[in-house]
Chains A and B, each alone.
Chain A
Amino acid sequence: MQVFFSIGVDALAYGMVLFIISIGLSVTMGLMRVVNLAHGAFAMIGGYIASYAARDLGLGYGFAIILAVIGTIIIAIPLERFLYRRIYGAPELTQVLMTIGITFCVIGLANYVFGPTLKTIPLPAGLQGPVDLGFRTIAAHKLFAIACGVVVALGLWFLIERTSFGVKLRASVDNTAMAASLGVRTRIVYAASFALAVGLAAFGGVIGAELLPVEPYYALRYMVTFLVVVSVGGAGSIPGALIACLLLGAIDTTGRYLVPEYGEFFFYLAVIAIVWVFPRGLLGRAK
């Protein structure tokens, strides 16, 4: 029983971290229909900014997070204007080519500017060290990540399902021409959603940095993980992504605990099994 709880706690924490980092990708892929393989690159940029702010400038953790989100969005604006706008609605493979190109550039530049060493984001005293749960200990920052995940999930769900912006976004995506003729300024809606996705990526990059440390190759190293969780959940579905992250987090954690030697088999066979049963993702909408 104790083992069960222990795995459960780890799974929840890992799943939530995955969720925070990946959910931005679900917005771009599912709602904006852009296969954005540069998602990890934006998360990494966020991580670098936060690390620079907190470690080198000595600013507070909260301030570093805000700076990371804003800074990454500012960097992303010209990219959206000059590059992404050209691939909205383009065939997926073209999008893949463009966003991989962007990722390569970002990796090369990060390596050049920041060097190849690991960058850490110092945590405030309150988030450091273990917290005793009675039957075991868990890192305080993991509890923080779980809380952040819950907030992000609720906030996004509210934004997309309950606000006029969400309505406009969904309308623009389903039929851009029709939405535009009804007076929705689709360009602005797209730009805003892109900024949202990038901001979420940066936020996730900072919160998840304890688990996925910031270094130049970050942008490609975890791309597969992000792609898998988003697609298993069904792109564009916030609850779907959440369930997928928790489920895959649980599978991964259980595998690593019980059969670490075959952890990789365990995880990917489970992915195949899930997709076999849900060929469009857990809560994916049929096209």
Chain B
Amino acid sequence: MSAPDIAALQPIQAARPWQRDLIGVAVILAAAIAGYFLFPDNLALLTRIIAIMLLVLSLDLVTGYCGVATLGHAALFGAGAYAAGIAAVTFGITEPLSMVAIGAIAGAVAGLVSGVVILRGHGLAQLVLSIAVIHLFHEAANKASTYTGGSDGLSGIAPDPVFGLFEFDLWGRTAYGFGIVLLVLVFVLLRILVRSPFGMLCRGIRQDPVRISAMGASVKASLIKMYVISGAVAGIGGALNAVSTQVVGLDSLSFTNSAEALVMLVLGGAGSLYGAFVGTIVFMWFEHVVSAANPFHWLTIVGALLIAVVLFAPKGLYGTAVTLSQRLTRSGP
């Protein structure tokens, strides 16, 4: 299974080292500030988008950069969410940064476990292993209802104010700011990661695993390492979700959640991290708007959007935009 081939564009991107990433961070911050002032009443939704964005970024690491197809990535997200939630409810750890750290660790562990299982298969078998993994996680959380609340959900998570100063309020301002800071930090670290020799190695594995192993690198060990990192990122997303919504449900460990994350990634374009941003925002915002406009039949319109993207932007929204802009600059003077 391979992602739409945005990786082919990578050399160009790598040729302009740090400028693009600086611009990227600037754009994220600008968008964050714009979001805050343009939609002051939608911060809860925006925070949710940030949490899911972390999940999609994390999925991009394994799918876009390593070529692993998975429909079970929410396992990592949900592990982070439940770990943070259980830490708060059962063990009284309500300091938000500690909760995020716990979420990241739990996500990394879940990443290790699912990585070991999923990487055993290839192609469709891989997909099926990922489906099995997400269902096992889901069922385990359902069974451990003493800790997780089972199908009733884990409620009663009451995080402390951030640094003892900023309380999580009804408008979701603190949660939003908290989320943005986490997102930018994670993004910067991930850009460094994918530019590092290790990141290049993973991209090489995606293109030709046989050649990489012939070069003496361990394909499997690299992929599992990436899975653990990816798990930490997804775990942070899950923990952010738990902190900001103060509740965790079984849906965070569901197949649906995994599949939606994959749809968002492909919609934006895999293999660049930027596509993950674009895809998540477009999908979730679009879904929000049409489902509020017509709560009964909005699914049809979302379906039509996905079809339209495949027809008119086959490399995903971001990938196609990059191709277009390159064509324009090349045909220019």
In the complex, what residues of B have CB within 8 A of residue A63's CB?
none
Which stretch of B95-103, B124-132, B188-196, B241-249 is in the interface?
Answer: B124-132
Which stretch of A5-13, A197-205, A227-235 is in the interface?
Answer: A227-235
Question: Across the interface, do A276 and B120 meet the contact criterion of CB distance under 8 Å?
Answer: yes
Q: Mark B1-14, 1 if CB is under 8 A from A, else 0.
A: 11111000000000
Q: Given A231-B128, A272-B129, are A92 and B69 also a contact pair (CB < 8 Å)?
A: yes
Beta-carbon nearest neighbor of B3 in chain A: A93
Q: Given A97-B266, A279-B120, are A224 and B299 also a contact pair (CB < 8 Å)?
A: no
Q: List which A197-234 residues lie within 8 A (CB) of chain B.
A: 224, 227-228, 230-232
Question: Across the interface, do A93 and B69 meet the contact criterion of CB distance under 8 Å?
Answer: yes
Question: Across the interface, do B267 and A275 meet the contact criterion of CB distance under 8 Å?
Answer: no
Count of chain A residues near B, Cβ 8 A: 45
Which stretch of B48-56, B174-182, B304-312 is in the interface?
Answer: B304-312
Q: Given A231-B125, A265-B139, are A104 and B131 also a contact pair (CB < 8 Å)?
A: no
- The yes or no answer to B270 lying at the interface (CB within 8 A) is yes
Q: List which B281-333 residues lie within 8 A (CB) of chain A.
A: 296-307, 309-311, 314
Q: Mark A227-261, 1 if CB is under 8 A from B, else 0.
A: 11011100100000000000000000000000000
- The yes or no answer to B259 lying at the interface (CB within 8 A) is yes
Secondary structure call for the A interface = helix
A224-B72 Cα distance, complex, nearest whole Å: 12
- The yes or no answer to B44 lying at the interface (CB within 8 A) is no
- The yes or no answer to B156 lying at the interface (CB within 8 A) is no
Q: Mark A271-287, 1 if CB is under 8 A from B, else 0.
A: 11001101111001001
- The yes or no answer to B29 lying at the interface (CB within 8 A) is no
**What distance in Å separates the Cβ of B71 from its nearest Cβ neighbour in chain A?**
8
Question: Across the interface, do B307 and A98 meet the contact criterion of CB distance under 8 Å?
Answer: yes
Q: List which B75-128 residues lie within 8 A (CB) of chain A.
A: 117, 120-125, 127-128
Q: Given A83-B307, A107-B299, are A287 and B263 also a contact pair (CB < 8 Å)?
A: no
Q: Given A98-B306, A224-B255, are A109 and B121 also a contact pair (CB < 8 Å)?
A: no
Question: Across the interface, do B5 and A104 meet the contact criterion of CB distance under 8 Å?
Answer: no
Question: Across the interface, do B128 and A112 meet the contact criterion of CB distance under 8 Å?
Answer: no
A109-B296 Cα distance, complex, nearest whole Å: 11
Q: Given A97-B267, A108-B297, are A91 and B307 also a contact pair (CB < 8 Å)?
A: no
Question: Across the interface, do B310 and A101 meet the contact criterion of CB distance under 8 Å?
Answer: yes
- The yes or no answer to A269 lying at the interface (CB within 8 A) is yes
- The yes or no answer to A105 lying at the interface (CB within 8 A) is yes
- The yes or no answer to B225 lying at the interface (CB within 8 A) is no
- The yes or no answer to A100 lying at the interface (CB within 8 A) is yes
In the complex, what residues of A have CB within 8 A of residue B303's CB?
100-108
**For this complex, into which size category does the number of interface residues on chain B fall?**
35 or more
Question: Across the interface, do A97 and B309 meet the contact criterion of CB distance under 8 Å?
Answer: yes
A66-B23 Cα distance, complex, nearest whole Å: 60
A96-B261 Cα distance, complex, nearest whole Å: 12
Interface hub of A100, A102, A107, A284 (most chain B Cβ within 10 A): A100
- The yes or no answer to A81 lying at the interface (CB within 8 A) is no
Question: Across the interface, do A275 and B263 meet the contact criterion of CB distance under 8 Å?
Answer: no
- The yes or no answer to A174 lying at the interface (CB within 8 A) is no
Pick from A83, A86, A111, A279: contact of B121, CB below 8 A: A279
- The yes or no answer to B63 lying at the interface (CB within 8 A) is yes
Q: Mark B219-249, 1 if CB is under 8 A from A, else 0.
A: 0000000000000000000000000000000
In the complex, what residues of B have CB within 8 A of residue A275's CB?
120-121, 125, 128-129, 132
Question: Across the interface, do A100 and B263 meet the contact criterion of CB distance under 8 Å?
Answer: yes
Beta-carbon nearest neighbor of A90 in chain B: B314
The 3 lowest CB-CB distance pairs between A and B, nearest first, are A104-B303, A108-B300, A101-B306
| Given A91-B5, A97-B267, A279-B120: 11 more A-B contacts, CB < 8 Å | A91-B1, A98-B307, A104-B299, A111-B297, A112-B297, A227-B131, A231-B125, A264-B135, A268-B135, A271-B132, A281-B124
Query: Can you name 23 A-B residue pairings with CB atoms under 8 Å?
Result: A29-B124, A90-B310, A91-B1, A91-B3, A93-B2, A93-B3, A93-B266, A94-B4, A98-B307, A98-B310, A101-B302, A103-B303, A104-B299, A105-B299, A107-B299, A107-B303, A108-B301, A224-B131, A268-B139, A272-B129, A272-B132, A279-B121, A281-B124
> Which A residues have a C-beta under 8 Å from some C-beta of B?
29, 83, 86-87, 90-94, 96-98, 100-109, 111-112, 224, 227-228, 230-232, 235, 264-265, 268-269, 271-272, 275-276, 278-281, 284, 287
